[in-house]
Structure 1
Amino acid sequence: MKKTLLSLALAAASVAVHTQAADIDKQLAQTESKVIEWRRHLHQNPELGNREFETAKYVTAHLKSLGIEVETGVAHTGVIGFLKGGKPGPTVALRADMDALPVTERVDIPFASKAKTEYNGEQVGVMHACGHDTHVAMLMGAAQVLADMRDELAGNVLFIFQPAEEGAPDGEEGGAELMLKEGLFKKYKPAVAFGQHVSSSLPAGVIGYRSGPLMASSDEFRINVQGRQTHGSRPWGGVDPITAAAQIIVGAQTIVSRQIDITKEPAVVSFGKIDGGVRNNIIPDSVFLNGTIRNFDMDNRQEIFKRLKVTAEKIADSSGAKAEVEILEGYPVTVNDRELTAAVVPVLREAAGENNVIEVPKVTGAEDFSFFANEIPGFYYFLGVTPKGTNPATAASNHSPNFYVEEDALKVGTRAITQLTLDYFANQAKR
């Protein structure tokens, strides 16, 4: 009799699981076209970091229509949705970034961005050239599916629609760091955080992940080389900051290649801007250098800071110039929690297909999701959006005016972020 009752119970549980899976599939299928519709609206109406006013209104209206508790004005323009499940359990944070880039779109699509704005004193186009429109749309889709099944949720969902991932305007704070500073996690107390990012480096619908360090830290450096202005025909009459700056650039390249142990983790020091001089026959007073440091090791990060400062100052001093070095610490390393990663990879395979989930190399790009993952266990992954027939190695990259998203991949991302949430609840309920 006991065996019969146990068999009946197991059979009933199996039916319940399959019924829930079928219901989720049905709900996700009903959401697919809406996700694309939302994405296209957002793509046509991009806004820069800390200026996502209309985007925030659009997201807010959607969340409120689902009966989700909404908080606005977080970290300037951020939107928070809190969905309380019908059963007790942990809170899962799901994050999507909302900001666009100062890029003039060149993609020939009916919903291409025509938006323009002033940026650094110039009129520029505005484009979702990094795919944040898709992140918002997919999370809106997940919100709809999860809200429809709230009574069955063994926990709560914290929807984070974050501004300014690409960086706040000069003189302003923003992004994930400011959200935390304002007490986001202290208020809602999430147990884990999940995030995803579309990528041109993977075929559409393929998910890329990595356990441990995934994306590099990102720091900015500014070097002002002060010389003494003189006529170009009499360089000995002054101090040439241009030659000093050139030597600093070359010398800085030996920091990573000759002074840092990169057998542990890779690192990069790159100069992106040189500014100095007014005309051909005047040696200027000063030259400004600007660049970025990327790294995966916190000890190496601090060592590079120190050595860059010493290198610039000593080289400048050797020619009679003076170098002032400023390091602006940016995003830390994005690290995927190893235990969480091991638990969720099978879920991703279920969402995307067994052969469509691959381990990817470290990425020297940076992400402020790292601030969230520094506070609680986090998992961040990439969703391929390059169409079939296009080589991901040569496809227009994120941040390009030609960046193109194969929209069929969005259903995979919506399913993945939804199933990660449901699976986490299910696993915690078993404990």
Structure 2
Amino acid sequence: MADRVTIVVLVSSEQLSWRRHIMQLPTIPHKLLFSLICGLSGHAAIAVAASAPLPAAISAAADATRSEIAQQAKALEPALLETRRDIHAHPELGNVEKRTGELVAAQLRALGLEVRTGVARTGVVAILKGGLPGPVVALRADMDALPVKEVSDLPFASHSKGRYLDKDVDVMHACGHDAHTAILLTTAKILSDMRARLPGTVVFYFQPAEEGPSDFVPDGKNTWGAKMMVQEGAMKAPKPEAVFGLHVWAGIPAGQIAYRAGPTLASSDDLRIRILGKQTHAGRPWDGIDPITVSAEALVGLQTVVSRRTDISSFPSVVSIGTINGGTRYNIIPESVDMTGTIRSYDYGIRQKLHANVRQTVEKIAESGGAKAEVTIIEKYDPTINDAGLTEKMGPTLRWAAQNDVTQSPLVGGAEDFSFFAKEAPGLFVFLGITPRGQDMAKAAPNHNPGFFVDESALVVGVRTMASLATDYLYAAAAPR
């Protein structure tokens, strides 16, 4: 008896769900069958089933979509660069990204997307519903800039000023969030043009204040950025099955993608210490309690928290003190000394143990000197952990987007509040190199530096990456299990 092939035509309509028209046909040569598949209109998807050809047909549809993404990303490059340069020339600090948010919302509304503004103060959420039923996937970009003075002579260099914690400051996109926003807007344009044949929904998160708020000091109770978006329900309606993010990174060749499974960026917790002594004349220290000496002993003691009390065989950890302030005059022992620093780790258990050991070390050293220690630890950002299964699944997508120029990322000591999105759904966060290939990577001005520079040739790769992560995930989910 002749083999039979089942052809399932998936017809999209704005009013109808998938309609399955099944017919039994005799054996069809593979080349003819492939021609039949490719000959379908853009408003239909087809899956072919024999022994196991349904996934292959869906893979063919995904490949055709990739080709379209590549073509459209290149065609839209001039508009991509124009948007990036506009945002770069008009940077805004965390929680005051009003102009940027308005620009983003206007472009998304022009695409016919469902747009919500004022999310987590100045954030924007947009929903793109595909013409075919399927899962929900989310893409994220951050919009805020930093209190940094730009030193470049680019024609679109920033000359902007802003207010950071009640101080007048220069403002610059020194971490590439202008590039992130432009990349995701271009991605939205490409995916909108193919919405009729998208099997699912894509949600776009344009997030404020990734670098932290500019209008208040974190106290452990107030919220901002990604965490606030999650608290306000941004990931509930609709709820994504996966969330993807991208960050441009100095010191990586332009267009190269770096990523890793598991812990990727560290947690970030603020450490605030006040040592309380007893003020006296520096010529009679025995009449008081010297908080400066106690602070020095505490600072040395803190060096043992990681080196002697933390298991670093699996993941590294950091406890750093960045500021020490105390005293008003050379011959007065002050009443108190304040220190601030940061605690970084990649594991939730290690993180909590670090907190406990820091408190114990400082408090006991202060007690031994007759002083008192007030230790405050404010948990800000959780570690960013890439879902292992999702990372493996999307590996071929990243290799395609970067034309096989991918590498494993080392652990990054910086922190990212993308971690809050990745706690609500499996997440994957990748790095896009933006340093010119002819340059010594070790000498590239790092992120957050006044000389931070983006080789704009890499941005098209960013668009290819974000768009194909969304479409490949949706098509893979459409395949039969």
TM-score, with length taken from structure 1: 0.97
Give the greater-gyration-radius structure (CA). 2
Aligned to 1:203: 253
In structure 2, C-alpha distance between the alignment counterparts of 1:24 and 1:375, rounded to whole Å: 28
Q: What's the CA shift for 1:120?
A: 3.4
Deviations 1:273-303 (A, max 9, x none): 1111112121111011111000011111111
Deviations 1:362-381 (A, max 9, x none): 11111110111111110000
1:45 counterpart = 2:95: no
Aligned to 1:282: 332
Amino acid across the alignment from 1:11: S
Specify which structure has the higher proportion of helix: 1
Contact (CA 8 Å) 2:165, 2:217: kept in 1 or not? no
Aligned to 1:36: 81
Q: 1:298 to 1:19 in 2, by over 3 A?
A: closer
Deviations 1:333-371 (A, max 9, x none): 1111111111111111111111x1111111111111011
Q: 1:21 to 1:208 in 2, by over 3 A?
A: closer
Q: What's the CA shift for 1:69?
A: 0.7
In structure 1, C-alpha distance between the alignment counterparts of 2:120 and 2:335, rounded to whole Å: 40
Aligned to 1:396: 445
In structure 2, C-alpha distance between the alignment counterparts of 1:152 and 1:336, rounded to whole Å: 29
Deviations 1:306-357 (A, max 9, x none): 1110111111111111101011011111111111111111111111111x11
Aligned to 1:250: 300
* Residue 163 (structure 1) aligned to one of 208, 211, 222: 208
In structure 1, C-alpha distance between the alignment counterparts of 2:207 and 2:188, rounded to whole Å: 15
Give the 3-state SS of the residue equivalent to 1:396 in structure 2.
coil
In structure 2, C-alpha distance between the alignment counterparts of 1:20 and 1:45, rounded to whole Å: 34
Amino acid across the alignment from 1:255: V
Amino acid across the alignment from 1:77: T
* Residue 144 (structure 1) aligned to one of 189, 198, 201: 189
In structure 1, C-alpha distance between the alignment counterparts of 2:125 and 2:165, rounded to whole Å: 30
Q: What's the CA shift for 1:388?
A: 2.0
Aligned to 1:8: 32
Deviations 1:141-195 (A, max 9, x none): 0000001111011011100000011112325421111111111112211110000
Q: Flag structure 1 segments of 5+ consecutive residues without an equivalent.
A: none
Amino acid across the alignment from 1:71: R
Aligned to 2:313: 263
**What's the Cα RMSD here?**
1.4
Amino acid across the alignment from 2:160: A
* Residue 64 (structure 1) aligned to one of 79, 98, 109: 109
Q: What's the CA shift for 1:15?
A: 6.4
In structure 2, C-alpha distance between the alignment counterparts of 1:56 and 1:281, rounded to whole Å: 53
Amino acid across the alignment from 1:351: A
Aligned to 2:43: none
Contact (CA 8 Å) 2:144, 2:209: kept in 1 or not? yes
Q: Flag structure 2 segments of 5+ consecutive residues without an equivalent.
A: 1-24, 41-60
| Identical-pair percentage | 51
1:414 counterpart = 2:414: no
* Residue 123 (structure 1) aligned to one of 168, 179, 184: 168
After TM superposition, the structure 1 stretch with the greater mean CA deviation from structure 2, 167-176 or 60-69, is 167-176
TM-score, with length taken from structure 2: 0.87
Aligned to 1:188: 238
* Residue 293 (structure 1) aligned to one of 332, 337, 343: 343
Deviations 1:64-102 (A, max 9, x none): 011111000001000001011100011110000011111
Aligned to 2:375: 325
